[in-house]
Amino acid sequence: MQRSRKGGLFFLSTSNVASVIFWCLLLVKFVAADDDGSSSSSFAKTEGTHFVLNGKPFNFVGFNAYWFIYSASDPSSAAQVTTAFQQASKYGMKVARTWAFKDGGPGALQVKPGSYNEQVFKGLDFVIAEAKKYGVYLILSLVNNYPDLGGRRQYVEWAKEEGQTTLASDDDFYTNTLIKGFYKNHVKTILNRVNTLTGVAYKEDPTIFSWELMNEPHCESDLSGTTFQNWAKEMATHVKSIDRNHMLEIGLEGFYGPSSKQLNPNGYIFGTDFITNNQIPDIDFTTIHVYADQWLHDLSDEEQVSFSKEWVNSHIHCLSGAVDDRQHQGPSPPPLKKPLVLAEFGKSSRLDKWYSPTKRDALFEALYDILDASASKGGPFVGALFWQLLLDSPGMDGLRDGYEVVLAQSPSTANIIAHQSTKLSNYQAHLQPSL
């Protein structure tokens, strides 16, 4: 679901001279570093329902920080990215999910189709270089479902500006040939980008854990799921035609299609299908998001936590068994046999007037307990990323959306994260990858 993700963008405000000096110093720093070491085994891969990295099983806790590219694009705020990775490393977080897009508008990465702001692109270069420095891997999302930061709507507007006057909705993003060409070109540009700080092409950089087709895709003009399925297959093929090194996932929240809509909160259906979409051969692993405080806001805290656990467990069953026959209409699909990442979860301080950090901690512990149980037995649920990491830093108040976790202000939550990371590391030492 869409949350209030206020831009809070760090617009480019420094002088050209300061910018040149900043990037030149960084270039010297990273050129002097070790080579990228991008052997085939250094890229994260899947083996059955597991991730494997450098020949060993890889489970993780991590975080979302969509703001990285915008903070990094301004020399006056780039240090915030470094601090975030430092904190993540300190508390054992190994994977971060962030945006590789900002389409149109002030501070854009893609100013118009095929035209990019180089300083913002250098910001993304910096994010990747700093992630490598602190041992954090990145999931990079390629476009937004929502109008925030451009999204599908900006692509539709660009097509209208080029004479496509019959476009009726944002869902034309999935079917219009010109728009699909815009997106494919963006994918090609991102994947082929050579990092100005490391000299390594993105498609050859093991720091990138995976690509994501879209953040939380919906296609409500075709609830059967056919339109989105066709688009996802086409774009997955396109990504893999350029980059076979990296894994690819869709960006799904986990909503089921018409045959299993009873499993969705409030019977939501958005034209996507966790089962069918993830059967696409070029999709390497599955994702879900969970926001019970939005989807089921009338329920008690305990009921919301209970639903969150059920949501995760139902998807685990899809991967290792099958959808509950009592809920599924028609023949049960075969198990997907792919890893599962809980790519967004959190508890908002704005949606609960009696909110306290202990309520958030209860949710984190409940979901980490499921991750713990899966990891300890070699199960398919292998990673969890909370929304979102922020810093106790000037200039970040505009990024607060109620879900923010500021580690310096939340010692109990920070300790829960660190403890779960330690447990996962201990399991990995004893597990062997298996199909």
What 3-state class would DSSP assign to 133? helix
Amino acid letter for position 368: Y
Give the total residue count for the chain: 435
Q: How far apart, in whole angstroms, are the C-alpha atoms of residue 56 and residue 253?
A: 28
Which residue in the list 130, 216, 253, 404 is annotated as catalytic?
A: 216
How many CB atoms sit inside 10 A of residue 212's CB? 26
Strand order, beta sheet including 247-249: 247-249, 208-212, 137-141, 95-99, 60-64, 381-386, 340-345, 286-290
All residues at 6 or more sequence positions from 417 whose CB lies less than 8 Å from its CB, including other chains: 61, 91, 92, 93, 364, 386
Q: How far apart, in whole angstroms, are the C-alpha atoms of residue 163 and residue 114?
A: 17
Q: How far apart, in whole angstroms, are the C-alpha atoms of residue 278 and residue 145?
A: 18
Helices (H), 243-343: 274-277, 292-295, 301-320
Report how far Cα 31 is from the mean position of its chain's Cα atoms. Answer: 29
CA distances from 300 to 229, 306, 312 (A): 35, 10, 19
CA distances from 72 to 75, 126, 164, 222, 399 (A): 7, 7, 35, 38, 15
DSSP state of 244: S
Active site residue 303: no
Report how far Cα 84 is from the mean position of its chain's Cα atoms. Answer: 16
Which residue in the list 130, 212, 344, 404 is annotated as catalytic?
A: 344
| Phi then psi dihedrals of residue 383, to 5 deg | -165, 150
Active site residue 161: no
Q: How far apart, in whole angstroms, are the C-alpha atoms of residue 75 and residue 12?
A: 9
Q: How far apart, in whole angstroms, are the C-alpha atoms of residue 120 and residue 23?
A: 12
Rounded to 10 deg, the angle between the 226-242 and 177-192 helix axes is: 30
Q: How far apart, in whole angstroms, are the C-alpha atoms of residue 131 and residue 138?
A: 7
Which residues are annotated as catalytic? 216, 344
